[in-house]
Structure 1
Amino acid sequence: MSAFLLRRALPVSARAFSTSSRASTFAKITLVGRLGDSPEVVPTSTGSEILRYNVATNSGPRDNQKTNWFRVTSFTPEGPQRDFIAGLEKGTLVYVEGSAEMNQYTDSEGKPRTALSIVQQRLDVLARKPKE
């Protein structure tokens, strides 16, 4: 087949982007790491409850490994799913997907700080806590 016929066979209107003017932006983060402690149920000022937990990830060679800590909040409603998450033990290997947002605040010493807030959208348990 000639190059001319091959070019005509490709769809002309196929595009890999959106031309919509209503496109919203967001930040998404994926973590694979171990729970730094068991998740805890925390009451909010509005009377509802949320789950909070930390996930630790490691990078670098074994002799010079760096650990990064991420604070995660879950708005999972009361029920079996929230009870399951709250029952996970420190050291459990988890996969977390969530939305990420940078927040600025002033610490107790009056210094400006920035923190990454992650709101859980999905959590999967990859491996239970290793036996000691």
Structure 2
Amino acid sequence: MSQSVNRAIIIGHLGRDPDLAARREGEGKIASFGVATSETWTDRASGERREKTQWHRVVSFNDHLSAVIERRCQKGTLVYVEGHLETRKWTDQQGQDRYVTEIIIDRFDGNLKVLANGRSTGDGRFDEERLSRSAAQRPVPAAASSAQEVDDEIPF
């Protein structure tokens, strides 16, 4: 018995506003967009901070989710995406075979969560200050307000 798993999970920022296309009449919309994920590290030899960004193409065939993407997602939005990988092949105008690998969010097989609605600052960076400011304005739970209120008795 052979088993396999085709699952992709990413968290990243949309690089531009999503593209929306109508499917056949009465069948809803398809949403597609690019998500950037980055990894950073310090170069051992030079001590410099390095960053590598990967771009992932995401396509949603889920009508309800495409409507949510249309309303809530734009350039800079931080999203959690879960789906499966699929590679498409086509022939370009010069007769060359082309391939693209996409993360597909199907009707029953995927997930998208809007984590933060970031706005681009215009220089390619996202307005993280605004995001952290909104997080700082959230109320602190009463239990975390004083260390003296902690009850460390064993409950049994």
TM category (shorter chain) comes to 0.5 to 0.7
> Could you tell me how far apart the structure 1 residues matched to 2:18 and 2:63 are?
14
Does residue 66 in structure 1 map to residue 52 in structure 2? yes
The match for 1:94 among 56, 79, 91 is: 79
Question: Which residue is 2:31 aligned to?
Answer: 51
> Where does structure 1 lack aligned partners over 5 or more consecutive residues?
1-20
The match for 2:12 among 23, 27, 33 is: 33
> Could you tell me how far apart the structure 1 residues matched to 2:111 and 2:76 are?
18
| Aligned AA (1:52) | S
- 1:86 counterpart SS class: helix
| Aligned AA (2:54) | N
Question: Which residue is 2:148 aligned to?
Answer: none
- 1:64 counterpart SS class: strand
> Where does structure 2 lack aligned partners over 5 or more consecutive residues?
43-48, 122-156
| Displacement of 1:31 | 0.8
> Could you tell me how far apart the structure 1 residues matched to 2:35 and 2:58 are?
7
TM-score (norm 2): 0.58
Deviations 1:51-74 (A, max 9, x none): 111111112338532221111111
Question: Which residue is 2:113 aligned to?
Answer: 124
TM-score (norm 1): 0.67
| Displacement of 1:26 | 4.2
Flag the 1:131–1:57 CA change in 2: closer, same or farther, 3 A.
closer
| Displacement of 1:102 | 2.2
Question: Which residue is 1:85 aligned to?
Answer: 69
Deviations 1:14-68 (A, max 9, x none): xxxxxxx4x6644110111101122232023x33321111111112338532221
Flag the 1:82–1:114 CA change in 2: closer, same or farther, 3 A.
closer
Alignment size in residue pairs: 108
